[in-house]
Amino acid sequence: MEQVLFEQNDQIRFFIYVISGILGAVISSYLLRIYRLFSSVHIFALLIGFALISFGDFFFSGTIEAIDDEKTFNFLHWLQLYVVSYGLVFIGLVYYYQKSSEKRFSLVIKTALVSLFLIGLTIVIFGIQDTLIFPQFQRYNEYFRIANMVALGYVVFRTFDNSDLKNRKDLILMPLGFGILFLGQFERFLFAIDPASLTLITSGVLKVAGLGVIILALHRKTKSKLAGKLIRHEA
């Protein structure tokens, strides 16, 4: 059923994935600019996280036509789920280790990068083997969505748990953006359980909206001399 709905909405999905990939790249460029100024491991991890999300969406937008090949379609979906989920894990780690030292968090990020490479390489090796068949991604799709919601839910909680919000309402944009991303993942979770075109499209629109709000928040922060301090405090 999911594959049929994907095929029926392939043009809309292509447009949403491209826009989402562009917005993720814009966020990464903002974070790269901030990282060059402050060289924080926490900012670097946010950069990696959003870069993975951007890459996952760009990559999948270019492979939508593979829907006619069930094996390739399934393999590419596994890759997209893995890359985007790992991107959200990186973002979640930033907020989880917000009070950790740069040295300790650097070790965490290096470990995460190594695991990202090894697991990704394993998926690719298995995916290109003609004699091996991946299990259908639909069987595990909801578990990825749950993991994504846990990561985003924690980020929303940590960004809302900021005493500066009481005095500076403009800071609400960052948790609002992550909150919209959470709703987008919740919609995809509902789609995994009960596929419907409206749910599929709504999840994509929410993702684009969430990334757009985060860009607006970063744009305001980069205009301030306190940009690095604010992100490090919220992270």
CA distance 44 to 12: 32
pLDDT for 60 beyond 90: no
**According to the model, what pLDDT value does residue 62 have?**
66
pLDDT digits (tens, 9 = 90+) for 92-135: 999 899 888 888 899 999 999 999 999 888 888 877 776 666 77
Q: How far is it, in rounded angstroms, from Cα 111 to Cα 49? A: 14
Based on the structure, what is the number of domains in the chain?
A: 1
pLDDT of residue 3: 53
How far, CA to CA in Å, does 195 sit from each of 26, 84, 146? Answer: 31, 20, 16
| pLDDT for the residue numbered 165 | 56
pLDDT at residue 101 in the model: 85
Alpha helices per DSSP H over the chain: 2-8, 10-38, 41-61, 70-96, 102-127, 141-160, 173-193, 197-222, 227-234
Please write the tens of the pLDDT for every residue from 182-192.
999 999 888 87
Give the range of the structural domain holding residue 7, as residue numbers without chain letter.
2-234
Instruction: Identify which of 99-108, 163-172, 220-229 has the greatest average pLDDT.
Output: 99-108
* CATH code of the domain in which 135 resides: 1.20.1070
Of 2-11, 178-187, 202-211, where does mean pLDDT reach its minimum?
A: 2-11
Model pLDDT for residues 70-90, shown as the tens digit of each residue: 777 778 888 888 999 999 999
Q: pTM score > 0.95 for this model?
A: no
* pLDDT reported for residue 223: 61
When the pLDDT of each residue in the chain is averaged and rounded to a whole number, the result is: 81
- How many other CB atoms are found less than 10 A from the CB of residue 205? 16
